[in-house]
Amino acid sequence: VWLPVECGRSGKTGDTGVPGEGRMAYSYGNHEVYRYWSNGLKCDRVKRVSKKEIYMKTEIVKIDEEQIDQEAIARAGEILKRGGLVAFPTETVYGIGANGLNSDAVKKIFIAKGRASDNPLILHVSSIKMVDSIAKDITPLERQLMEAFFPGPLTIILKRKDNVPDIVTASLDTVGIRMPSNKIAHDLIELASVPIAAPSANISGRPSGTNINDIFEELNNKVDYIIDGGDTDIGLESTVIRVINNVIHILRPGKITKKDLEKYAKVEIDSHVLGDIKNNEKVLSPGMKYKHYAPNTKCILVYSDDKEKMYNKIKSLEDTNTIVICNSSNVSNYKKAIPYGYTEEEISHNIFKILREIDKKEASLVIIEGVKEEGLGLAIMNRLIRACSHNYIKI
Ligand code: TXA
Ligand code: MG
């Protein structure tokens, strides 16, 4: 089935072409993807391609958070409005954004990432008014939490309104909502004037992108526009919570910790934050089910509250072709080591970049020093356990 798109004219399903710029445009019909070359106002069908093959010419623009280039960001907002994809920085990790109320636009995110369709996306907002346009039955505690932590690295799962497309929520009756504090992200959402669906900017299963090199490597020719806003601040994705009967459940730990949330209500950490998932077990957040952050090289995580015990265990696993990823103060303990920083903040900032590069080292085994499963350390361990496919020695 041939789905005609008049390349270069905006407003048509799937059209990401821009008049006169000779850019690539595509559309889908009956799960098939067609690729067009839009050249001025003339549009020729090139060939039918598989979803994997689709690509576009990506524009990359550097924007300084402290001095935002209004023209560049307005253009990104325009692309989002029109149904295109924009990779943008937030204070946690980069996101791949699309108009969150446009199913066709959101569908492109799933294709670009190779993401499972039962894994819902977070909608990013720039105001509480926008929250109220997509969520309902918000309780006083949920409002209090938004007042306390928005804008910032918190995602709250709320009851969704009917205008939120099924593709965003994977047909759940809830929707994840987050208001980023990064100014570029904030201005972009405001200019697009719709909630922006945005998962972390990485191919599904890979560590999330936190710097422009990783974003470029992963998304060049897969999105319309990339905003280079430098390295992201925190480096790990937002804390995901859901309030059930006035108890806050942490579904994914992040920079906003159990202790931060305990000022407002009782907090429970979901058992899957550190634990594995048994076959067919029901989970509160679909993202928990998926393989995440794992390099191709075999990784093992080692931790003990007794540091000597941890060093000795790691040393017993080392050989000439292993690499240890460890605290910067422990590098001299090991044969071959990559430091991940001194503090939890530094580790959280650096860890995804290190995990993304580890396969290039061609080690036989990567051994990773764990940290205490508390505060931001819990978020670090949640990611490391997944990077090691639950291959975790705790002594
Ligand atoms: O920091 C972040 O949250 C980044 C930046 C870009 O904002 N975004 C991000 O999105 O990490 P993503 O899609 O990679 O992770 C979203 C997580 C997934 O684990 C998903 O399953 C869960 O949130 N989630 C989304 N909507 C949900 C819902 N309605 N109920 C339960 N879990 C939900
Ligand atoms: Mg992700």
pLDDT tens-digit readout, 49-88? 444 444 467 889 999 999 999 999 999 999 999 899 999 9
Distance 132 CA to ligand 1 centre (A): 19
What atom of ligand 1 comes closest to residue 169's alpha carbon? 29
* Strands 122-124 vs 174-178: parallel, antiparallel or unpaired: parallel
Distance CA 320, CA 335 (A): 7
Helices and strands: H and E segment counts in the chain: 11, 20
* Per-residue CA distances from 111 to 22, 60, 91, 224, 291 (Å): 23, 20, 25, 14, 18
pLDDT value, residue 113? 87
Closest-CA residue, ligand 1 atom 3, reads 238
Local confidence band at 271 (pLDDT 50, 70, 90 cut-offs):
very high
Nearest ligand to the C-alpha atom of residue 135: 1
pLDDT value, residue 56? 63
Above pLDDT 70, what percent of the chain? 86
What atom of ligand 1 comes closest to residue 198's alpha carbon? 6
Helix axes 212-219, 344-357, angle to 10 degrees: 30
Local confidence band at 19 (pLDDT 50, 70, 90 cut-offs):
very low
211 neighbors 353 (Cβ within 8 angstroms): yes
pLDDT value, residue 35? 42
To test ligand 1's pocket by mutation, which of 186, 240, 270, 382 has the most ligand atoms within 8 angstroms of CB? Answer: 240
Distance CA 251, CA 248 (A): 9
Per-chain mean pLDDT for the chain: 87
Average pLDDT estimate for 216-224 = 89
Question: Which is more confident, 33 or 227?
Answer: 227
Above pLDDT 90, what percent of the chain? 73
Distance 200 CA to ligand 2 centre (A): 4
Distance 177 CA to ligand 1 centre (A): 9
Which residues form ligand 1's pocket by a CB distance below 6 Å? 90, 92-93, 95, 119-122, 155, 157, 169, 172, 174-176, 178, 198-200, 237-238, 240, 251-252, 285-287
Q: What one-character DSSP code corresponds to residue 64?
A: B
Terminus-to-terminus CA distance in the chain, angstroms? Answer: 59
pLDDT value, residue 210? 97
